[in-house]
Amino acid sequence: MGAPAFECESVASGRDIMSSTDTREMNSRATAARLVYQYRSHHEIPSRRLETVTRDRAFVTEMVLGVVRNQHALEWVIAQLVDRAPSDKLIPVLLVGLYQLLYMDHVEPYAAVHESVEAAKIMCGDSKGGFVNAILRRALREKDDLLRDLDKQPIDIRCSHPQETVARWERQFGQKNAERLCEWNNQRPEVIIRVRGSTDVETLLHEFHSAGVPATQHEKEGFITLGTFTSIPDLPGYDHGWFTVQDPSTLIAIDLLNPKSGERILDACAAPGGKAIATADRMEGQGTLVAADLNPLRLKRLQENLKRCSCQFVQTRIIDAATMLPDGFDHSLFDAILLDVPCSNTGVIRRRPEARRRLTAHHLDQLVALQARIIEQACSLLAPGGRIVYSTCSLEPEENEQQIATLLEKRPDLHLVHSARSFPPDDQIDGAYAAELRQGA
């Protein structure tokens, strides 16, 4: 028999969840619950809000992204514990509390319950603390049974993916691979860095270990996997530009681009800069590299990364890749153009868990149309005999193989030289697709 469900007080009472008049200090669970509320109610991307958190950011991040990653499973658990659904304003508190109890073994259960109760009081009123306390304590008592029953649920519930997405992947990859992909997406992602030519893997590993930073050599050459650490900017070698944070999958496109010294190259969707810096490294500071992005804030981050990595020769521009109509942009032709286009992000759901809920037919159609416009504009900037590398972090054929096939039908002056892709469960890296197109015979 489930416990009775209690509602949060109405906005008219002056206790709206996002503008509470409670003067008690916000604890980390309340901060996480508020961010979860914003995600559920306003579809705000959690990572952007998490950047504004100053206190216990790592802990808050784990809770928020953990809830997003396991949302369907946690909602199923709530349904087993209550007779009727709690209000939209109380559910985030329960989600955060249950995630700690069921998935965060390093968190003391007492602390998880107590602080979640306090969060409920701060956000929804003192009377709601007792309800949250009862639900979480029952979940703790029945934890083994709940997890065992959850493991028997369909994959869309067990791995918290929309039914439509699971069905799509079963058609594309087969049932077993679709299940493997969903399970991969629900793993906590490692932080992986690419070691730049200014140092080497052995030297950087020695620096990390001397500083007490857990780190191991990645199976992909030139990469390091980091363990628990404080923050990226505090790592040895960060200020010297010895490394960039990026998954090995990002080099699939760079390998096809094959940048050379002295070439004129455009990276049309460059922020935050991992691929642009890898391109600059292979150009050895010789030639012209224009790194562009539409978003001024993302461009600022790109510029900061370029400066840290001493890539002074790289030019940065605010450019709308779908129109190529910025002020002051030199429309000279390029030997090579990298198009790391906006996409559904289905290859990086492990890092962007909210992306699993954005894969709708309408959204996919919008992305495919945008990608087509970007490619068409890029073709107008390509020098005779030049090459374009089209890249996504998507697993969807509409954005990858089908997009390229459609382009080649429209543009007989282009031909496909090579394409490559990664499938996360098989390759143990993020999912990516890249195709090299060349103009002329």
Q: What is the pLDDT of residue 342?
A: 96
Give bridge partners of residue 82 from the DSSP assignment. 3
Residue 310 reports pLDDT greater than 90 = yes
Q: pLDDT band for position 197 (50/70/90)? A: confident
Q: pLDDT band for position 141 (50/70/90)? A: very high
Domain boundary among 103, 128, 153: 153
Count of domains for the chain: 3
Q: What is the pLDDT of residue 277?
A: 97
Residue 373 reports pLDDT greater than 90 = yes
Q: What is the pLDDT of residue 25?
A: 52
Q: What is the pLDDT of residue 8?
A: 36
Residue 237 reports pLDDT greater than 90 = yes
Domain boundary among 100, 134, 153: 153
Residue 21 reports pLDDT greater than 60 = no
Told to judge if 269 belongs to the known catalytic residues of this protein, a careful annotator would answer no
Q: What is the pLDDT of residue 11?
A: 29
Q: pLDDT band for position 12 (50/70/90)? A: very low
Residues 210, 119 share a domain = no
Residue 16 reports pLDDT greater than 50 = no
Name residue, tokens 């098989």.
426
β-strands 414-422, 432-439: how paired?
A: antiparallel
Residues 377, 312 share a domain = yes
Asked whether residue 229 is assigned to any structural domain, the reply reads yes
Q: What is the pLDDT of residue 42?
A: 78
Residue 280 reports pLDDT greater than 70 = yes
Asked whether residue 168 is assigned to any structural domain, the reply reads no
Q: Which domain holds residue 255?
A: 248-439
Q: What percent of the chain has pLDDT over 70?
A: 92
Q: What is the pLDDT of residue 86?
A: 86
How far is 134 from 116, CA to CA, in rounded Å? Answer: 11
Highest mean pLDDT among 38-42, 121-125, 126-130, 204-208: 204-208
Specify the pTM.
0.89
Q: What is the pLDDT of residue 301?
A: 93
Asked whether residue 199 is assigned to any structural domain, the reply reads yes
Say how many CA atoms lie within 13 Å of 154 toward its Cβ: 9
Contact 340, 271 (CB under 8 A): no
At a CB cut-off of 8 Å and minimum separation 6, what does 154 contact?
none
Residue 17 reports pLDDT greater than 60 = no
Which is catalytic among the residues 159, 269, 343, 393?
A: 393
Domain CATH for 348 = 3.40.50.150
393-417 confidence digits (pLDDT tens): 999 999 999 999 999 999 999 999 9
Q: pLDDT band for position 230 (50/70/90)? A: low
Mean pLDDT (whole number) for 298-315:
95
Asked whether residue 325 is assigned to any structural domain, the reply reads yes
Q: Per mean pLDDT, which range of 12-21, 242-251, 359-368 is the poorest? A: 12-21
Residues 285, 273 share a domain = yes
Mean pLDDT (whole number) for 265-291:
95
Domain CATH for 17 = 1.10.940.10
Residues 264, 317 share a domain = yes
Q: What is the pLDDT of residue 2?
A: 38
Residues 142, 222 share a domain = no
Q: pLDDT band for position 14 (50/70/90)? A: very low
Q: Distance of alpha carbon 388 from its chain centroid, rounded?
A: 25
Residues 211, 104 share a domain = no
Asked whether residue 317 is assigned to any structural domain, the reply reads yes
